[in-house]
């Protein structure tokens, strides 16, 4: 079996930075309670390793004890949550990805006078919750078809996207909306690292018989890589670990391997090694 590993597979800058900040916080505050507000990244195996080292995950403000060291996860948090943290006796470390932070700032700047936000993203995703809190009014949608539900006529509006969305689809949506909303401001909020990974998957699919996408099942950017592989007409497997690889893959001649932006190198290496043994 020939295995082609994507050059962009694995941690992006924002994820690597967030984990460095977590490691630094643990080193600088020995003996103190270290809490992340929500999973710091979307990878169960990485989270399990930090849990073994004593890092706690809080899913609400009420779960955070006073005087704890709190890390804001890479996806960012809503405005009201940030304000509530600032009012507590806590040491807060902001590990929000700089690309997400840039999107937050752009939305705040363009929606500060009440201009509604049209946000292309997953409604329940933590990043989306943080982004839409930067606008007084926000409509979150996941597909161009949902745009038909928007009221007519629609006045001035701002269009933005979750940073891990597909850039090609976002451009198509922008063109559709610009035809309907003359006073539409389109913000470029999709991360370049996301685009590079998606473009590489499309190129990889032209060289392989099948595609393995490695990463958390709850990782939006990883799921989109798997979606692109399927759209390119290649059998695609989204796995979290090597244990999930099916035996049927041994019948393929050339397999492509890529990974989401929150997938560590040690998991990718284990998947490649397992494929070589098939």
The residues that are catalytic are 127
- Please provide residue 225's backbone torsions phi and psi, each rounded to the nearest 5 degrees: -60, -40
At 178, list the tokens.
Answer: 């610009």
Please state the separation of Cα 81 from the chain's center in Å: 20
Complete DSSP assignment for 242-262: GGG--GGGGG-SEEEEEE-TT
Picking from 274, 163, 166, the residue whose alpha carbon sits closest to that of residue 212 is 274
Strand 210-214 vs strand 254-259: parallel, antiparallel, or unpaired? Answer: parallel
Contact status, residue 7 vs residue 43, Cβ threshold 8 Å: no
Report the alpha-carbon distance of residue 191 to residue 151 in Å, rounded. 29
């Amino acid at each position: 079996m020939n295995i082609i590993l994507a050059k962009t597979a694995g941690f992006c800058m924002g994820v690597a930075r967030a984990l460095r900040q977590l490691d630094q916080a643990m080193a600088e505050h020995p003996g103190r309670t270290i809490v992340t507000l929500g999973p710091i990244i979307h990878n169960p195996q990485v989270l399990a390793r930090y849990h073994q080292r004593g890092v706690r995950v809080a899913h609400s403000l009420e779960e955070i004890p006073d005087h704890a060291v709190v890390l804001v996860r890479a996806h960012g948090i809503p405005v009201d949550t940030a304000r509530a943290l600032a009012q507590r006796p806590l040491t807060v470390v902001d590990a929000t990805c700089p690309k997400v932070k840039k999107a937050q700032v752009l939305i705040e700047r363009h929606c500060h006078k009440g201009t509604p936000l049209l946000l292309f993203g997953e409604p329940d995703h933590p990043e989306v919750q943080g982004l839409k809190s930067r606008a007084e009014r926000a409509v979150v949608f996941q597909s161009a078809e949902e745009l038909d539900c928007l009221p007519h006529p629609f006045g001035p509006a701002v269009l933005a996207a979750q940073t891990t969305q597909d850039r090609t689809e976002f451009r198509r949506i922008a063109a559709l909306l610009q035809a309907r909303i003359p006073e539409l401001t389109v913000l470029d909020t999709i991360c370049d690292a996301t685009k590079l990974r998606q473009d590489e998957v499309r190129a990889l699919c032209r060289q392989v018989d099948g595609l393995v996408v490695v990463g958390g099942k709850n990782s939006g950017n990883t799921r989109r890589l798997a979606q692109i592989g399927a759209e390119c007409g290649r059998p695609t497997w989204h796995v979290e670990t090597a244990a999930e690889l099916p035996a049927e893959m041994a019948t393929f001649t050339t397999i492509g391997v890529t990974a989401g932006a929150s997938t560590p190198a040690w998991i990718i290496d284990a998947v490649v090694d397992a494929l070589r043994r098939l």
